[in-house]
Structure 1
């Protein structure tokens, strides 16, 4: 039976020029390169300029993804931006991206699920593309997490960085089997009872300010390993896959210990796990497309491979998606 699936046809990413090393942070907060690497695996992160809003990063990533897909901005009829750091309270950053990209009038909106945002955004775009409501969707994860840092809190300020990644999603006909190109299945979750474990202590309807990121790191770690593994298993079941069928595991790049913990729990070969956390740090919703693009560009992930992505973030939200590239 013929089915229409949404397929990832192009991938692109962008990182701000400024690199902040662990040594740079050690000069302003009580920490060290050894302390950071031992606990997180992070060596450096990128930081946006003061005059470089999230939309600028998003647009550049989108342009590169469109080039990779052989498409132009004129082809785009859906833009979904996953971000925790929008340019403004409103309009949606996606609206600004549409204008800067030069895309025609179409659908554009933001999705907010923090670090899980890109997985959520892919699921939203999949609903449009697979149902024939969009023919060329650009899904972007773009973040400037350094804007939310309390630079006196060494437990959080060393973890995050800025960047953007994007994918183009287009309809592809398949036979309804796991051999089809495109998205095969999702598993999305949220537990609002755990909002106090990872949050920003500000907002327009509470403090009237942006606020700073706060996190109960040890508790987030424990929930991450268990919850992500469950979502990955559920996404595989929804897709008709076994863990052994996964060619590449592209996790949210939060912490190398979490990445390893999830991989071990799932029984994944380390060679199948993509990690860019050492050079990107945690870029929230941008981390999955950044890592995906890096692994495609260096030749590891190839067309036809089965890819599984996952993330967990504030909310707590978490989720996973399986697709054949």
Structure 2
């Protein structure tokens, strides 16, 4: 990885937005419909996921405070074009030097087609391939792993990976999922790096057990006179994710560490995607890792899907900070997609500019 950049849309919604506009969403009856509702029959000795989740059950927003959202004139392609430009400028890679774009959009602006080719056109690329690669919230992990493999194989020299998430236009405001979901985008350039740096080992497994946790529908939007995508959680979502998160983490992390010939004590930093406020401490607890050496952006950005991996890596590099030569264990989890872990020896990764300040949506 030669560069890493992140960006967000211009709008920001705080918890007060829902208190003002949707007061009916609060109270005991609605609490039971919260996607992260308390278990109906809690265990005497909760598992690691349940134990960390329990710390947030008194808060209806479950630790979320702010989330970035699209403003009326913004869309996913706009975010992707902006963040791709940032990543290329940080890497000092000219557009003519890009051989391949790998794109993952959750969700793209047009139904049925990803943004790779649209993005190539927006960037004015004339000699690059452009592919869409989708595995939901683990999309950035899959893009990075694929880019590394293609560069190592000598098939391509410079691969631009771009991911985005636009939950705010697919989850209805009166659904409690909107409390935990935000928008964002990330991009990185993958090229040859000095020996010993970059991706050391990785492991990825499908998450078929989660296929019934969330549903994507297409419905009529009469106000706008067109069909729109709607994303919602099934009643079983929280239970399913509580059951599978630890096995996915243990299996992929153990396999990646074994491939690398390392133990958890060799790792300097743990960077996981944070779909909940308790996911980072949960992962640290399961792996026996120091939670002070993790990063958690959930209170700032909520769950921004496939953008979480670049967002958390960028924040960790800027704030912890991760240094050149440090070993980083990266873990992502996704519903109806994949779960993965990777060991990365951090190199000379150029960071794009910090996110621009938003405008609060009142």
Please, what TM-score do these two structures have when normalized by structure 2? 0.79
Secondary structure, aligned partner of 2:289: coil
Change (3 A) 1:28 1:300: same
2: CA distance, partners of 1:245 / 1:196: 37
Which of structure 1's runs of 4+ aligned residues deviate more than 4 A? 34-39
- Give the structure with higher Rg (CA): 2
Tell me if 1:262 matches 2:278: no
Report how far residue 202 of structure 1 moved.
3.8
Report how far residue 110 of structure 1 moved.
1.6
| Count of residues in correspondence between the two structures | 307
Tell me if 1:61 matches 2:83: yes
1: CA distance, partners of 2:163 / 2:250: 22
Secondary structure, aligned partner of 1:213: strand
Report how far residue 35 of structure 1 moved.
6.7
Residue 3 of structure 1 corresponds to none
2:253 paired residue among 215, 224, 232: 232
What do residues 267-296 of structure 1 show as CA deviations (whole Å, max 9, x unaligned)?
Answer: 111121111111010000001101111222
Instruction: Check the 8 A contact 1:232/1:321 in 2, yes or no.
Output: yes
Change (3 A) 1:55 1:181: same
Larger deviation: 162-171 or 214-223?
A: 214-223
Report how far residue 44 of structure 1 moved.
0.4
1: CA distance, partners of 2:337 / 2:318: 32
2: CA distance, partners of 1:16 / 1:153: 21
What do residues 209-253 of structure 1 show as CA deviations (whole Å, max 9, x unaligned)?
Answer: 522222412321331233123212211212222112222211112
Instruction: Check the 8 A contact 1:80/1:121 in 2, yes or no.
Output: yes
Aligned-residue CA RMSD (Å): 2.1
What do residues 52-83 of structure 1 show as CA deviations (whole Å, max 9, x unaligned)?
Answer: 22111112112222222222222211111122
2: CA distance, partners of 1:38 / 1:302: 37
Instruction: Check the 8 A contact 2:207/2:334 in 1, yes or no.
Output: no
What do residues 183-229 of structure 1 show as CA deviations (whole Å, max 9, x unaligned)?
Answer: 111111113243101232349xxxx7522222412321331233123
1: CA distance, partners of 2:310 / 2:337: 21
Residue 213 of structure 1 corresponds to 232
Residue 285 of structure 1 corresponds to 306
Larger deviation: 229-238 or 124-133?
A: 229-238
Map 1:154-233; keep pairs closer than 5 Å: 154=176, 156-174=177-195, 180-202=196-218, 209-215=228-234, 216-233=237-254
Tell me if 1:16 matches 2:35: no
2: CA distance, partners of 1:112 / 1:31: 35
Map 1:106-185; keep pairs closer than 5 Å: 106-154=128-176, 156-174=177-195, 180-185=196-201
Instruction: Check the 8 A contact 2:104/2:114 in 1, yes or no.
Output: no
Instruction: Check the 8 A contact 2:170/2:229 in 1, yes or no.
Output: yes
Tell me if 1:79 matches 2:101: yes
Secondary structure, aligned partner of 1:172: coil
1:41 paired residue among 63, 69, 79: 63
Instruction: Check the 8 A contact 1:307/1:322 in 2, yes or no.
Output: yes
Report how far residue 90 of structure 1 moved.
4.8
Please, what TM-score do these two structures have when normalized by structure 1? 0.88
List alignment gaps of at least 5 residues for structure 2: 28-55, 220-226, 347-362
2:325 paired residue among 298, 304, 322: 304
Instruction: Check the 8 A contact 1:36/1:43 in 2, yes or no.
Output: no
Instruction: Check the 8 A contact 2:163/2:307 in 1, yes or no.
Output: yes
1: CA distance, partners of 2:257 / 2:61: 30
